[in-house]
Protein backbone atom coordinates (compact mmCIF):
# COMPACT_ATOMS: atom_id res chain seq x y z
CA UNK A 1 0.00 0.00 0.00
CA UNK A 2 1.27 3.47 -0.73
CA UNK A 3 2.09 6.03 1.93
CA UNK A 4 0.32 9.37 1.58
CA UNK A 5 2.14 11.22 4.33
CA UNK A 6 4.76 10.80 7.04
CA UNK A 7 5.15 13.42 9.73
CA UNK A 8 7.42 13.77 12.73
CA UNK A 9 6.05 15.63 15.77
CA UNK A 10 9.64 16.30 16.85
CA UNK A 11 11.83 17.65 14.05
CA UNK A 12 14.51 15.09 13.21
CA UNK A 13 17.26 17.74 13.28
CA UNK A 14 16.64 18.05 17.04
CA UNK A 15 17.49 14.39 17.62
CA UNK A 16 20.69 12.38 17.73
CA UNK A 17 20.33 10.43 14.49
CA UNK A 18 22.46 7.48 15.66
CA UNK A 19 21.17 7.11 19.21
CA UNK A 20 17.55 7.68 20.01
CA UNK A 21 13.96 7.32 18.94
CA UNK A 22 11.14 9.37 17.51
CA UNK A 23 7.40 9.23 17.00
CA UNK A 24 6.24 8.88 13.42
CA UNK A 25 2.73 9.60 12.15
CA UNK A 26 1.85 7.66 9.01
CA UNK A 27 -1.10 8.09 6.69
CA UNK A 28 -1.73 5.50 3.99
CA UNK A 29 -3.47 6.03 0.67
CA UNK A 30 -6.66 4.42 2.03
CA UNK A 31 -6.85 7.13 4.72
CA UNK A 32 -5.82 4.88 7.61
CA UNK A 33 -3.38 6.40 10.08
CA UNK A 34 -0.80 4.85 12.37
CA UNK A 35 1.60 6.08 15.00
CA UNK A 36 4.85 4.26 15.59
CA UNK A 37 8.16 4.77 17.30
CA UNK A 38 11.29 4.47 15.21
CA UNK A 39 14.39 3.72 17.22
CA UNK A 40 18.02 2.94 16.62
CA UNK A 41 19.90 -0.06 18.02
CA UNK A 42 21.90 2.35 20.20
CA UNK A 43 18.62 3.86 21.40
CA UNK A 44 17.49 0.42 22.56
CA UNK A 45 20.80 -0.13 24.31
CA UNK A 46 20.58 3.26 26.00
CA UNK A 47 17.04 2.47 27.18
CA UNK A 48 18.24 -0.76 28.83
CA UNK A 49 21.12 1.08 30.51
CA UNK A 50 18.89 3.91 31.74
CA UNK A 51 16.21 1.52 33.05
CA UNK A 52 18.82 -0.94 34.39
CA UNK A 53 17.29 -3.90 32.55
CA UNK A 54 18.89 -6.54 30.35
CA UNK A 55 16.04 -6.81 27.83
CA UNK A 56 13.33 -4.74 26.17
CA UNK A 57 10.02 -5.44 27.92
CA UNK A 58 6.98 -6.52 25.88
CA UNK A 59 5.29 -3.61 24.14
CA UNK A 60 4.20 -2.53 20.69
CA UNK A 61 7.24 -3.22 18.50
CA UNK A 62 9.35 -0.27 17.43
CA UNK A 63 10.49 0.10 13.85
CA UNK A 64 14.24 -0.23 14.16
CA UNK A 65 16.41 1.85 11.85
CA UNK A 66 20.14 2.43 11.58
CA UNK A 67 19.74 6.21 11.88
CA UNK A 68 16.90 8.64 12.47
CA UNK A 69 16.88 10.25 9.05
CA UNK A 70 13.82 10.93 6.94
CA UNK A 71 15.24 8.84 4.08
CA UNK A 72 15.91 5.75 6.20
CA UNK A 73 12.64 6.01 8.13
CA UNK A 74 10.68 6.39 4.87
CA UNK A 75 12.45 3.34 3.38
CA UNK A 76 11.61 1.29 6.47
CA UNK A 77 7.97 2.37 6.53
CA UNK A 78 7.59 1.72 2.80
CA UNK A 79 8.87 -1.80 3.41
CA UNK A 80 6.38 -2.34 6.25
CA UNK A 81 3.58 -0.97 4.03
CA UNK A 82 4.23 -3.31 1.10
CA UNK A 83 1.30 -5.26 -0.29
CA UNK A 84 -1.65 -4.47 1.98
CA UNK A 85 0.47 -2.96 4.78
CA UNK A 86 0.52 -6.33 6.54
CA UNK A 87 3.45 -5.56 8.86
CA UNK A 88 2.25 -2.05 9.72
CA UNK A 89 -1.10 -3.54 10.67
CA UNK A 90 0.46 -6.36 12.71
CA UNK A 91 2.66 -3.88 14.58
CA UNK A 92 -0.36 -1.61 15.18
CA UNK A 93 -2.53 -4.47 16.46
CA UNK A 94 0.26 -5.50 18.83
CA UNK A 95 -0.44 -2.27 20.71
CA UNK A 96 -4.03 -3.25 21.38
CA UNK A 97 -5.36 -5.74 23.85
CA UNK A 98 -5.93 -9.45 23.64
CA UNK A 99 -9.47 -8.64 22.49
CA UNK A 100 -8.11 -7.90 19.01
CA UNK A 101 -6.09 -11.09 18.71
CA UNK A 102 -7.73 -14.51 18.75
CA UNK A 103 -5.29 -16.61 20.78
CA UNK A 104 -7.07 -19.84 19.80
CA UNK A 105 -6.40 -19.07 16.12
CA UNK A 106 -2.81 -18.10 16.88
CA UNK A 107 -2.22 -21.32 18.83
CA UNK A 108 -3.83 -23.35 16.04
CA UNK A 109 -1.64 -21.69 13.41
CA UNK A 110 1.46 -22.43 15.46
CA UNK A 111 0.46 -26.12 15.77
CA UNK A 112 -0.04 -26.36 12.00
CA UNK A 113 3.45 -24.96 11.36
CA UNK A 114 5.21 -27.53 13.59
Name residue 21's beta-bridge partners. 39
Give this prediction's pTM.
0.87
Give the model confidence (pLDDT) of 7-62 as tens digits: 999 999 999 999 999 999 999 999 999 999 999 999 999 999 999 999 999 888 99
Domain total in the chain: 1
Q: Is the dihedral of CA 66, 6, 93, 111 positive or negative?
A: negative
- Domain of 26 in residue numbering reads as 3-112
Other Cβ atoms within 10 Å of 8 Cβ, number: 17
35 alpha carbon, distance to own chain's centre: 8
Write the DSSP string, 17-39.
Answer: TTS-EEEEEEEETTS-EEEEEEE
54 touches 8 (CB < 8 A): no
**Is it the case that residue 113 has pLDDT exceeding 70?**
no
Structure confidence at residue 102 as a pLDDT band (50, 70, 90): confident
Amino acid sequence: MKISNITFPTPLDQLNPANGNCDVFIQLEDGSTYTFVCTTPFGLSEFMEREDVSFIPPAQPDIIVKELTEKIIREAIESYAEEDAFWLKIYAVADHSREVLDMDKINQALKVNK
